[in-house]
Structure 1
Amino acid sequence: MHPMLNIAVRAARSAGNVITRGFENRSDLLTEKKGENDFVTKVDKEAEQTIISKIQQSFPDHSFVGEEGGLVEGDKDFQWIIDPLDGTTNFIKGIPHFAVSIALMHKGRIDQAVVFDPIRGELFTASKGAGAQLNGFRIRTGKAKDLTNTTLATAFPFKDKAQSDESISRFTNIFKQCGDVRRCGSAALDLAYVAAGRYDGYWERGVQPWDIAAGELLVRESGGLVTDYTGGNDPLYKGEIVAGNPRVVQSLVKHLK
């Protein structure tokens, strides 16, 4: 395992311990509202600080971008992009589907990635050019040749419902072409599941870099393709993403344009 990936895994597992303890004691949970339908808990904040502290023990000069803490200035060539608890609403409601997401960007490109599901004990990892793994075993995207009989994943713009009509129209168009669609509430796990071949494809608008950075590398390193809604190959800051094997992505983009 790449040394920096090894550190990221340790940080993700430490954050997972924080999250698991919080999940078992949700009666003590303090929830704050960041925006419309957008919540944060003390567990999110504690998990993010745990991740940063663990990484800084080995790389004190690196910079960080976290969902909760914002930007921590440092060496711009090495920037960690962190979502300490992707799927906070699930966590608050007691739905055991959420994950820690950690990615390392080196000179503008995602180089290392970890998505950790602390409830199932599933650790998805990837290093640029070295493939993607689930608990140490190589994973690959699915082999679907088009949308027929595929199982896809998506999400609706719950933070900005003014976009809902457009999103529902796209959903309806794609739903008529595929087998079924899941909407489970964690972009990081959606992308990890695409990388592992559990989902054949995924699309979503309204995502932030910390939602998708680690998952993007997982999909690419498992043989998949990641684009924006127009087929562009760098979706990290576009706020929209399409992922799957190349044929599925091509079909999805055709219906999303």
Structure 2
Amino acid sequence: MSDNPNTIGGKSFTAVAINCASKAGEWIKSRIGQFAAPDLKFSKHDLVTEVDKGSERLIRNLVATHYPTHSFLGEEGVEPGPEASAQSIAKMGGSEYLWIVDPVDGTTNYVHGFPFYSVSIALAYRGEVIVGVIYDPSRDELFVAEKGKGAYVHGKRMQVSAEPALAQSLLATGFPAEHLSALPRNLKQTLALAPQVRNIRSSGSAALHMAYVAAGRLTGFWEVGLNAWDLAAGALMIAESGGIVTDQNGHPYSLGVRDIAASNGLIHDEFLKALADA
């Protein structure tokens, strides 16, 4: 193994992640309007297409070409539902090297032709995320983070926003596919936060929302019931851009976190209190 923790045999993990995300993104974009009707996964709000599955195969095969001994956790390889997701992280989270992939984050948007979806790829080393790449094919925007080396978009260093208070913040959230507990909790939080902030957006791709927090385009993001493949790459980006990512109780981010709160750091305590009060 190389002395550099971000390479094996001289091959950069980050370069491989970028190549995988770019190739998958190009293929996804080429398939717009040319796929069969989507299937339902966990609920009518949780869709999957042949494009999701094809994108994941493409990424898995590319990763295996470079790192055949690495573990791989892709969204489409896990049974639907929160219990299966939690079990997959518990089982694989301790792998030495684990690639964590959402092959199309924002499938519902993709199906409807709404151009806000992404490819999210993270690499964790013994449970700690060391590389994160999020690619937006619609805008040809590539967000890249490497632990200890910063986060970048268009080759420029990203920095979280400077809003000092919740009242000045632009936040984002989503609407969970799990309707018994996650969706009602998220809706309560949305109702409570809306009067306290500048505005709230919900655009349908958690990974891109996280990238936008890192880039300073959003002040913060929260959602209930997400998974490692939604969050891992973006969590590293926000941390490397000067922000804070925790669970909604304020504990530091780890691969098992499902209820996320991410911000520029300046509003974080106020943000967590507002979520708790909701």
Normalising by structure 2, we get a TM-score of 0.87
Q: Distance in 2 between matches of 1:253 and 1:137?
A: 30
Name the residue aligned to 2:26: 17
| CA apart distance, 1:95 | 0.4
Other-structure match for 2:17: 8
- Counterpart secondary structure, 2:31: helix
User: Quick one: structure 1 residues 27 and 13, their matched pair in 2 at CA, closer, same or farther if it must change by over 3 Å?
Assistant: closer
Q: Does 1:90 align with 2:99?
A: no
Residues 147 and 4 (structure 1 numbering): CA distance in 2 closer, same or farther, change over 3 Å?
same
Compute the RMSD of aligned alpha carbons. Answer: 1.8
Range that drifts further, 28-37 or 108-117: 28-37
Deviations 1:12-71 (A, max 9, x none): 011012101111xx1543411112121110100110111111111111110000000247
1:38 paired with 2:57, answer no
Do the aligned partners of 1:31 and 1:39 also contact (CA within 8 Å) in 2?
yes
C-alpha distance in 2, partners of 1:170/1:94? 28
Distance 1:16 1:147, change over 3 A: same
In the alignment, is residue 229 of structure 1 matched against residue 248 of structure 2?
Answer: yes
- Contact 2:35–2:49 (CA under 8 A) maintained in structure 1: no
1:167 Cα deviation after fit: 2.4
Work out whether residues 226 and 235 of structure 1, in 8 Å CA contact, stay in contact via their aligned partners in 2: no
Preserved contact between residue 22 and residue 29 of structure 1 (Cα < 8 Å): no
Q: Give 1:161 deviation, angstroms.
A: 4.8
Structure 1 residues 247 and 95 mapped into 2: Cα distance closer, same or farther (>3 Å)?
same
Equivalences, count: 254
- More divergent stretch after superposition (161-170 vs 29-38): 161-170
CA shift for structure 1 position 166: 3.1
Matched with 1:99 is: 118
Q: Which moved more, 1:147-156 or 1:39-48?
A: 147-156
In the TM superposition, residue 254 of structure 1 has moved relative to its aligned partner by 0.6
Of 168, 179, 201, 1:182 maps to 201
> What residue ranges of structure 1 are gaps of 5+ in the alignment?
none
How far, CA to CA, are the matches of 1:39 and 1:253 in structure 2?
30
5 Å-filtered alignment, 1:94-173, equals: 94-173=113-192
Please say if 1:53 is aligned against 2:61. yes
The answer to whether the 8 Å contact 2:246/2:261 transfers is yes
Residue matched to 2:82: none
**CA–CA distance in 2 between the matches of 1:57 and 1:193?**
31
Find the residue that maps to 2:207 and give its secondary structure: helix
Structure 1 residue 158, shift from structure 2 partner: 3.4
More strand by share: 1
TM-score, normalization by structure 1: 0.94
In the TM superposition, residue 6 of structure 1 has moved relative to its aligned partner by 0.4
Structure 1 counterpart of 2:230 = 211
Q: Give the CA deviation at 1:235.
A: 4.6
Percentage identity across aligned positions?
A: 38
SS in 1 for 2:251: coil
